[in-house]
Chains A and B, each alone.
Chain A
């Protein structure tokens, strides 16, 4: 498809386990963003990739969170040793020139 694709759409994991969330951006988009959306918390910036520049990691809440973007395209957000407070919807977006386009998100539930 032509939009941003995220997988899985839903993920239930046990506390302490690691999870990987995947984002396929729109082809040709140079910028890629990860946000977290929690009930009552709005949209929290996590990390931003722009072309070949060093990513802006200023929003990552702890060193358990990391992300990479391979070949300037697909991105993976990894959360190690998940905690219950990590439960949220993780949104990925990509952009070229005209504003960011979002995927449907991955709903992560840590039990």
Chain B
């Protein structure tokens, strides 16, 4: 069985500060990992994904994440937060390929202070 842990429910940063959203996973096989963003009253948008190959993955809007097998982590970062980054972020894992069932974490709400 696969699972995702996103510790905490809310992160607040100042505009221009580093954004770090943590995600740890559990999977019995090499995982496929995803980050999604959900803006208020909208559906989920794929930010980035790790399938195979390079462990540092770059996504849209300046976000990136690094797959660390030894730490079973896939933390999401952005060097400088913008007000428009305020949203809910979900980490997800699939253990059967990029086209199979996704298991999501509980999500983290990111607030950005002016």
Q: Which residues of A contact B (CB under 8 A)?
A: 4, 30-31, 33, 35, 41-43, 45, 48, 50, 56, 91, 93, 95-105
The answer on a CB contact under 8 Å between A100 and B107 is: no
- B31 located at the interface, meaning its Cβ lies under 8 Å from any Cβ of chain A in the complex: no
The answer on a CB contact under 8 Å between A102 and B44 is: yes
The answer on a CB contact under 8 Å between B99 and A96 is: yes
Q: How far is the CA of A93 from the CA of B99 in the complex (A)?
A: 11
Q: How far is the CA of A104 from the CA of B101 in the complex (A)?
A: 19
Q: How far is the CA of A103 from the CA of B43 in the complex (A)?
A: 6
Q: How far is the CA of A100 from the CA of B45 in the complex (A)?
A: 9
- B63 located at the interface, meaning its Cβ lies under 8 Å from any Cβ of chain A in the complex: no
Residues A42 and B43 in contact in the complex (CB < 8 Å), given A95-B99, A99-B98: no
* Selected A-B contacts with CB under 8 Å, 26 pairs: A4-B43, A31-B99, A31-B100, A33-B102, A35-B104, A41-B106, A42-B90, A42-B105, A42-B106, A43-B44, A43-B90, A45-B101, A45-B103, A45-B104, A56-B101, A91-B43, A95-B99, A97-B98, A99-B34, A99-B46, A99-B98, A100-B34, A102-B36, A103-B43, A104-B43, A105-B43
